[in-house]
Amino acid sequence: MKRYSGWAVFREGLRGQTGWSRAWRDPEPKSEYDIVIVGGGGHGLATAYYLAKNHGLKNIAVVEKGWLGGGNVGRNTTIVRSNYALPHSTEFYEHSVKLWENLAHDLNYNVMFSQRGQLGLFHTPAARDAQAKRANTMVMNGIEAELLDTEGVKNLIPHLDYSENARFPILGAVLQRRAGTARHDAVAWGFARGADERGVDILQNCEVQGFLREEGRVTGVETSRGVIRAKKVGVAVAGSTGHVMAMAGIERLPIETHKLQAFVSEPLKPLLDYVVSYGAPGAHFYISQSDKGGMVFGGDLDFYNSYAQRGNLPIVQDVAESAMAIMPCLGRVKLLRHWAGVMDMSMDGTHIMSKTPIDNLYLNAGWCYGGFKATPASGYHFADLIANDRPDALTAPFSLDRFEKGYAIDEKGMGPTPKLH
């Protein structure tokens, strides 16, 4: 496959763009693979890529019911950070940020990872204490963090609402400078191209409709393009986890499917250099500006279960109010598009990466609305789990049986209420 480079762009400019090859093939499904990954989102594609790259495995298929990038990987607000407070999550997400930092080189694909910094605002003294604790935990784990006061935030972003009677007075923020954003669909395409280059078959329009089982183990999948046998099957289908795992015979999982909306405005001149987020009683909001100038933002879940990839109007109003409460200058900006994705909300707000009670069937799920930032590390460690049939040290805490054993990893301390995580 032709490598992408500045020189290649220049040469193709002179040759009328005639020398580019397809980014990935469109093969017919084979009757059998060593490993089938169900779900061609970011996590499924990254898993296939690292299975090939790190473990030298080639006879792999990714089966995707729609098109690459049609799920959450192409619908999210692209925030990447590692400002977690609990052990296990801290290490996992920091490993992910480190992979992000070299991802464009690794994939030879510009994923547009922009480490512009993220500020988590706080509005009460109690919230300041909580954020200071989080910043200390990060620093103790070798992750840089800065605690800013009101002036510190104002110096970086002068046009938030700092007035005395603001609905959410800004007392300060925790800043992670290495956090940022990436171009979501480029991440899917980059992993797809990298996996394809290493021999992985990417099968689009190929829906898994059932599982083959023999003597307590999975031996393949039934798809809309025929039966595919496999020695191992990994499931990474995000919001469809409950539905797909039920077909495999696992009827009950600690996951609920919810919807989350995202919004993008008309393009503006440079307005916001950072990612900004805040959460307060009655409001949850995060915003950044895309390289094309659109303000990209979102808020809370829609608060009811659904598989529909569209949202409801009350949340549109909620998000607009949250935006105006912190950034009144957005008042006259026109909304260009909004959409929703289906989220696999887990009972403790933390992901599951695990073997399952069925042999040769592996599960990657429960990313809630924070799984984009995890994409490289998720693929890296899920590949390791599938290849070696045992979790590595960073994966072991996220096993499915933690809910039976009472080892919940509840970052927000909300208990088993998925829509609050």
Ligand X SMILES: Cc1cc2nc3c(=O)[nH]c(=O)nc-3n(C[C@H](O)[C@H](O)[C@H](O)COP(=O)(O)OP(=O)(O)OC[C@H]3O[C@@H](n4cnc5c(N)ncnc54)[C@H](O)[C@@H]3O)c2cc1C
By Cβ distance, which residue is nearest to ligand X? 41
For residues 53 and 373, which CB has a smaller minimum distance to ligand X in the complex?
373
Minimum distance from residue 32 beta carbon to ligand X (Å): 18
CB of 364 to ligand X, least distance (A): 8
Does residue 363 touch ligand X according to CB under 6 A? no
Q: State yes or no: residue 41 binds ligand X (CB under 6 A).
A: yes
Pairing of strands 79-80, 180-181: antiparallel
Q: Is residue 38 within the footprint of ligand X (CB under 6 A)?
A: yes
Among 111, 195, 260, 283, binds ligand X (CB under 6 A): 260
Comparing CB distances to ligand X, the nearer of 95 and 167 is 95
Q: Quick one: which of 326, 382, 328, 400 has its CA closest to 120?
A: 326
Distances (CA, A) of 284 to 24, 118, 288, 321: 39, 15, 14, 10
Distance CA 254, CA 113 (A): 32
Query: How many positions of this chain bind ligand X (CB under 6 A)?
Result: 39
Least distance in Å: CB of 294 to ligand X? Answer: 14
**Quick check: 242 binds ligand X (CB under 6 A)?**
no
Q: Does 50 bind ligand X (CB under 6 A)?
A: no
Q: Is 239:257 a contact under the CB 8 Å cutoff?
A: yes
Among 82, 240, 257, 354, binds ligand X (CB under 6 A): 240
Which residue in the set 50, 61, 75, 103 belongs to the binding site for ligand X (CB under 6 A)?
75
Looking at the DSSP bridge assignments, the partners of residue 35 are 60, 232
Q: In the complex with ligand X, which residue's Cβ is closer, 114 or 150?
A: 114
CB nearer to ligand X: pick between 170 and 368:
368
Residue type, 315: I
Q: Which H/E stretch holds residue 226?
A: strand 226-235
- Least distance to ligand X from the beta carbon of 72, Å? 3
Please select the residue that binds ligand X; options are 65, 198, 258, 421, rule is CB under 6 A: 65
Q: Tell me whether residue 349 or residue 397 sits nearer to ligand X (CB atom).
A: 349
Q: Are 253 and 356 in contact (CB under 8 A)?
A: no
Among 98-106, 194-202, 353-361, 369-377, which window interacts with ligand X (CB under 6 A)? 369-377
Return the residue of 138, 244, 325, 361 that touches ligand X, per CB under 6 A: 244
- The CB-side HSE value for 56 (13 A sphere, CA atoms) comes to 0
Applying the rule CB under 6 A, the residues between 330 and 359 that interact with ligand X are 341, 343
* Helix, strand, coil in percent for the chain, rounding step 5: 30, 30, 40
Judged by CB under 6 A, does residue 369 bind ligand X?
A: yes
DSSP string, 286-335: EEEE-TTSEEEEEEEEEEEE---S---HHHHHHHHHHHHHH-GGGTTPPE
257 contributes a contact to ligand X by CB under 6 A = no
- 57 counts as binding ligand X under rule CB under 6 A: no
Which of 190, 299, 371, 379 binds ligand X (CB under 6 A)? It is 371
**How far apart, in Å, are the Cα atoms of 392 and each of 92, 201, 279, 387, 396?**
11, 26, 34, 11, 6
- By rule CB under 6 A, what string of x and - marks binding of each residue 291-330 to ligand X? -------x--------------------------------
Q: Using the rule CB under 6 A, which residue among 53, 77, 186, 192 binds ligand X?
A: 77
Within 10 angstroms of residue 309's Cβ, the number of other Cβ atoms is 15
Q: Centre a 10 Å sphere on the Cβ of residue 64 and count the other Cβ atoms it contains.
A: 27
Q: Give the DSSP letter of residue 2.
A: P
Q: Are 40 and 202 spatial neighbours (Cβ–Cβ below 8 Å)?
A: yes
d(CA 401, CA 356): 9
Instruction: Spell out a b/e string for 142-163, using b for 16 or more CB atoms within 10 Å of the CB, else e.
Output: ebebebbeeeebeeebeebbee
Stretch that binds ligand X, among 62-70, 89-97, 99-107, 113-121 (CB under 6 A): 62-70
Contacts to ligand X by CB under 6 A: 38-44, 63-66, 70-73, 75-79, 207-208, 236-238, 240, 244, 260-262, 298, 341, 343, 367, 369-373
